[in-house]
Structure 1
Amino acid sequence: MTDVLHVELREQIGTAATRRLRKAGKVPGVLYGHGEQNLHFSATSSEVAALVRHHGKTVQLSGAANEHALVNEMQWDPLGIDVLHLDLIRVNLKEMVEVTVPVRLHGEPQGVREGGILLENLHEVDVRCSAGAIPEDLGLAVGGLKLGESLTAAELELPEGVELVTDPETVIAHIEAPRAAREEGAAEGGEPEVIGRSEEEQE
C-alpha cells in the first residue's frame, strides 16, 4: 500500500523554523534525488504517524510536490516516539531498489506446544524489488518448528519479483528448550547445544 503525504513548501529552514513547525503539529522533511533540486517540505504529524503504522516504504506526494518517493530515513526523538524529520528520495515505481522489510511469523510452533520457547533472532531483512512492489512484510511459517530447530531467511515467503538480499542462511527464528530443562541437562553432565539468544532475551 502506498501512503499519501500532503506536503507544503518550507520557505524557512533552521532550528527556530523547525520548532515552530513541530509546535504546529507538522514534521519537516526534504525530498531529493534524480538530479533535481532538493525540496524542503512539511507534512502533518498524523499522516506521518499513519506512514509509520503501515510500515510504508513508498509515498505519493501531493501539494507542493506531485510524485512518488521512497522513505530513506526517519529521524526520531530520543524516546523513539515521534518522528522529527523525514528524508525522501524521488523514485520511479518501476525502478529496482533495495529496502528493509519486517518479518512476520505466523503459526503455532510444534516446539512451543512441547514446552519450548520461540525466539525471533531477526525482525527484518533486506530485499530487492521494484519500488512499486515493496511488500509490507514477509511471512515465515513457524507451525512445523520443533524443539532445537530453526528457520532461515531462505524459508521466507517471497512474493513474485522480490529478491532476498540478506544472507539466506541467516537464522530468523528458533525453538529453545525452557531454561529449567537446559539447567537440568547441564547438572547431569551433558553439554547443552549452544543456541544464539535473541536481542530481547539479552536485554
Structure 2
Amino acid sequence: MAEYKIAAEARTETGKGAARRLRRQDKIPGVVYGHGGDPRHVALPSYDLLMALKTSNVLISLEVDGKSELVIPKDVQRDTLRSGVLKHVDLLVVKRGEKVSVEIPIHVEGDLAPGQNLLEHTLHALPVEAEATNIPESVTVSVEGLEAGATVTAQDVKLPAGVTLAVEGDDPVLHVVAPQAEEPAAEGETAEGEAVATEGASEE
C-alpha cells in the first residue's frame, strides 16, 4: 500500500470563521488525533488532500513542523452541493504493524440470473480490521447467476490475507429481490388513481 505524502501546517485558530478563511486560501482545516495524544489542529493543502482521498482508506505520511507521522482519514466532510469541495477532515494516527477498524468499499461484479430481478445493497462498505499499512482499497463480490431470494452475507466475501471481519459473519451484504408487480387499478379508478365518474352521478 503506497503512502501519500502531505505537508501540513499547525494552526491555532479554530471555529467557523477561521475555517472559512483557510478554505479561501485553498487549505482545509483538519484534526489529528489518536494514540493517547491531545487532538491537534492542522491546515492541509486542498489539492493534495483531494488527490489523496481519491484512494479509499489512503495511508498518508503527514509532515507537520518537520515531524512525520502516519495517518488515515476517519471522517471527511464535503460540501453538500459540491462533493468535490472539502470542508474538514479528521485524521487518525496509526503505527506500522497495528490493526485498525475501517470500512472497505464493496464492488459488485457479474450478472444476475435472467429476469428483471433487482439487487439491494444492505452494506455499501464492509467493516473490517486490517493492518494500518496494508488496508485493501476494496473487496469484490460476485453476483453471477444469483436468483431472486439469494443473499450474500459478510462471511461470503473473500477477504485478503490479514484482513478480518468487524461484523457478524451472517450479516447480510446484498439481497436479490424479484420486481414488485404493479397493483391493478382499484374498481372505479383510472390507472392514474383518479376516480371515474359513473353514469347518473350528480355534479356539484
- TM (normalized to structure 2)? 0.78
Aligned residue for 1:51?
52
Task: Please tell me whether residue 90 in structure 1 is matched to residue 68 in structure 2.
Answer: no
Q: Does 1:70 align with 2:72?
A: yes
The CA deviation at 1:131 is: 0.7
Q: What is the correspondence of 1:1-203 to structure 2 with a 5 Å cutoff? A: 1=1, 2-64=3-65, 65-79=67-81, 81=83, 82-109=85-112, 111=113, 113-180=114-181
Q: In structure 1, what is the Cα distance between the partners aligned to 2:31 and 2:9?
A: 11
Q: Distance in 2 between matches of 1:39 and 1:49?
A: 20
Question: How far apart, CA to CA, are the structure 1 residues paired with 2:27 and 2:172?
Answer: 40
Aligned CA distance change for structure 1 residues 33 and 116 (closer, same or farther; 3 Å): closer
In 2, the alpha carbon distance for the partners of 1:24 and 1:31 equals 20
3-state SS of the aligned residue for 1:49? helix
Between the aligned residues of both structures, percent identity stands at: 31
Quick one: distance in 1 between partners of 2:37 and 2:121?
42
Structure possessing the higher radius of gyration over alpha carbons: 2
In the aligned structure 2, how far is the partner of 1:162 from the partner of 1:7? 30
CA distance in 1, matches of 2:98, 2:154: 24
SS in 1 for 2:155: helix
Residue identity in the other structure for 1:92: K
Higher helix share: 1
What residue ranges of structure 1 are gaps of 5+ in the alignment?
185-203
Q: What residue in structure 1 maps to residue 189 of structure 2?
A: none
Amino acid at match of 1:77: D
> 2:57 touches 2:102 (CA, 8 Å); kept in 1?
no
Question: What is the CA-CA distance between 1:63 and the residue it aligns to?
Answer: 4.7
Aligned mates of 1:79, 1:106 — CA distance in 2: 30
Residues 1:14 and 1:102: Cα distance change in structure 2 (over 3 Å): same
Change (3 A) 1:92 1:179: same
Residues 110 and 144 in structure 2, CA contact (< 8 A), matched pair in contact too: yes
Aligned partners of 1:57, 1:14: CA distance in 2, in Å? 27
Do the aligned partners of residues 4 and 107 (structure 1) sit closer, same or farther apart at CA in structure 2, a change above 3 Å counting? Answer: farther
TM-score, length-scaled by structure 1: 0.78
Q: CA deviation at 1:42?
A: 1.1
Q: What CA deviation, in whole Å up to 9, does each residue of 1:51-74 have, x standing for no partner?
A: 332123431113534110122222
Q: Per-residue displacement from partner, 1:135-170 (whole Å, max 9, x unpaired)?
A: 111111111312221211111120000000112112
Task: Tell whether the 8 Å contact from 1:153 to 1:167 is kept in structure 2 after alignment.
Answer: yes
CA contact (8 A) 1:61 1:69 kept: yes
User: What is the root-mean-square deviation of aligned Cα atoms in Å?
Assistant: 2.2
3-state secondary structure, aligned to 1:179: coil
Shift of the 36–147 alpha-carbon distance from structure 1 to 2, 3 Å rule, reads closer
Distance of 1:117 and 1:151 partners within structure 2: 14
**Which string of whole-angstrom CA distances, capped at 9 and with x for unpartnered residues, describes residues 77-117 of structure 1?**
344723211111211021111111111111122x2x23322
- Change in Cα spacing, 1:18 to 1:138, as seen in structure 2 (3 Å) is same
| SS in structure 2 at match of 1:166 | coil
